[in-house]
A and B are shown apart, each in its own frame.
Chain A
Amino acid sequence: MSVITIFSGIFCSADAVVRDVMDSTGYRLITDEQVILKAAETSGMPENKIRRAFSAKTSVFNTFTHEKECSIACLRLVLATELERGPAVVHGFCSLLIPQAVSHVLRVCIIAEMPYRIDQAGVVQGLTEKDASKQIHAQDADSAAWAEALFSVKDPWDNALYDMVLPMNRMDVAKAGALIEENLIKDAVRRTEASIQTEKDFLLAATVEMALSRAGHDVSVSAENGAVVLTINKQVLMLARLEEDLKSIAGAIPGVESVKTQVGKDFHQAHIYRKHSFEVPSRVLLVDDEREFVQTLSERLQLRDMGSAVAYDGESALALVKEDEPEVMIIDLKMPGIDGMEILKQVKSTRPEIEVIVLTGHGSEADRKRCMQLGAFAYMQKPVDIDELSDTLKKAHEKIQKFKT
């Protein structure tokens, strides 16, 4: 005995299909309204606030109140509790709340082409084409916002979210019902020991989410065999403290075997970021007597996570090379005292592993040839495009890494 979920657009004859399926399977029906009522009852939140979770419009205060997230947590908990009571048809927005891991759920989407829906709106409610299309668009916007909130998917009718998508403009109600019943007896949606465990985990995760949400936290929760994983989807400086608080709330809930916290992948922690920055050189020495130019350049490279030091003349550049072992140098050719060409010559003869990029405003073709002969990695003209320079720096870095390994 399984669970059937039906997510549908309005004016797609979904209610008729639901009745047909209930008649032939004997399953009970769980609707959004039932879940909302029960959620209001158990949480003490007003019904209309919970109902607003299904709306595309979010309260402007949501960032502080987390009303939407709290409502969703509530709905999830009620639904998970309901599912414990055995086979059911879940029809409506709530149907998308059951995690994919629960495999004994046959996920159905009922939708139709626009002309069919407008026609139905006329038949069922006597709506004009204009009114019908207005209602359909408003309802579809809510559906889209719901899919976006839950799965970050723009299209609520996306095939990937369902086991079957039924286009009602191409079949009648009886045919749709028959197709659902046909798929319901397939092995893939049969209740197994493993799938029952995932249902229990769903309830556990929902319970934890509710408890955290009541305490004002907004994290996503998953559970596997009692091991709970909390994903923090925001930037928080005092991460250790937040994790501690989350763990103490979640750990106190019966049935929770262990609690692990992690940071969502779009909300990088510094160390993840640093892994990424291995692709760029971290020690770049800029040598140029035009102070302002070289300082601006240094700051722009820092914005791209390349650490850089600056020298304004050849002597201090060569001193820094000895002390600081830069990976890559960017040098100007024309400078008082030891000029760029001389630096290039000395660096390449004493420290050939340092890559040197020549960046000059007044170079000739002969200069370019000479620099490349002396072993420069690249020869670039001012003004330089910062992206192009970044690219060249990355390439120099790759060459060095390759040489090292």
Chain B
Amino acid sequence: MTLTAKSADLRANIAKALCLITEKKRTIDWILTHHPDWTAQPIQRELLYGCARHYLEVQSTIDPLLKKPLRDKDQDLYHLLIVGAYQLLYLNIPQHAVINETVNATKKLHKPWARGLVNGVLRTVSRNNAQPKLEEPYFGHPPWLAKQIQQTYKNSANDILVANTKRAPMTLRVNQTKISVCDYQTLLNHNKINHQIGALPQSIILDQPMHSQELPGWHEGWVAVQDLGAQFAAILLDQHTNEPNRILDACAAPGGKLSHLLELKQNIIQSQPTNVTAIDHSPARISQTQQILARLGHDLALRSGDATDLTWWDGKPYSAILLDAPCSGTGTIRRHPDIKMLLNAKSIDELQELQLKMLNNLWQTLAPQGTLLYCTCSLLDAENDGVISEFLTQHGDASYTSIELPTGSKRKHGWQLLPTDPHTDGFYFALVHKKGGLER
């Protein structure tokens, strides 16, 4: 038998990972790809995601116990304390083991002098029998973020903030060009994977998350992992476009919505392969998306292109555009709890500017009578209705089409899904219609 990575190493590595997030502004996704050894085991991911999910709550437990803040160069120690305290507060691991392993991890950080400090702080947390505290008014969010959510959602805001600290379900999208939902369900039942059908017929919500590669038919491309909210995008676009058409996916990577769209439109694409254009600005993400499309059996070459300029455009207008704009991701905090550690108020202004710039740019490529679906995975009004309402005032030839989905709620121009809605992340959709052409 072999030991899993020595438990002290494991804790030291998570402390280092948290430092990368707070100091170098790295995301958890970045850490997963660049330090796979730090995150290979379930317990390591549990610690990393858990510490990020409850970062501010854990901070509020240990900060009062430190006589003075640790020096900048000792942030690794500070985060080791976070890792230790998180386990004491949230995990069912024997307290003496947690303290012992965390104290030993000081050696792995080459700071054996800090044994006493770590031991003292964690023993105090343990002795005080501290409980996790998810406190009003901000519920573990940076205050500016909580305030923005409260301004937008008033009475339901606190529920949203609490929902953000929970775990998101794992949701599948059955690739109906390969297998029927019914057959896939049989396959899941056969493998004893408990599940239920979501609000959309091709969506399946698993009772327990699992490795995607262990899903039946994963390598055959029978199924993709995609949040239920995200699955509405391709459906909305499909419902609101007339065929035949030329479709543009302007920020295609990582290709979840694109592959869904291809599945819905399969017949048309087979007859005229140039009907869908997909661009993304990052070559690395294009190659990643290409692999995902290949697995699902879609033969479409992505092109390198930036949605803020037109260098990639062949001059022929599109009848439908999907703009899944870069955004704060605040609707997906359950899946990406590091967003709470990384985001600041200023970045929202920058994102809003970028979103408007993309809309303005892509508008030139949309044919009269064409439809643009703008979507974000944000909860913030500034990135959602705020952007659309600003865009509508700037463009006389633009009008919005009302959206009605089986779950979520209506905003002034678009439709908002929330993490409090059943099985969805937070998403925003708005359909913008271009006047002119046939209209008289």
Q: Are A and B part of the same complex?
A: no
Binding site for B on A (CB under 8 A): none
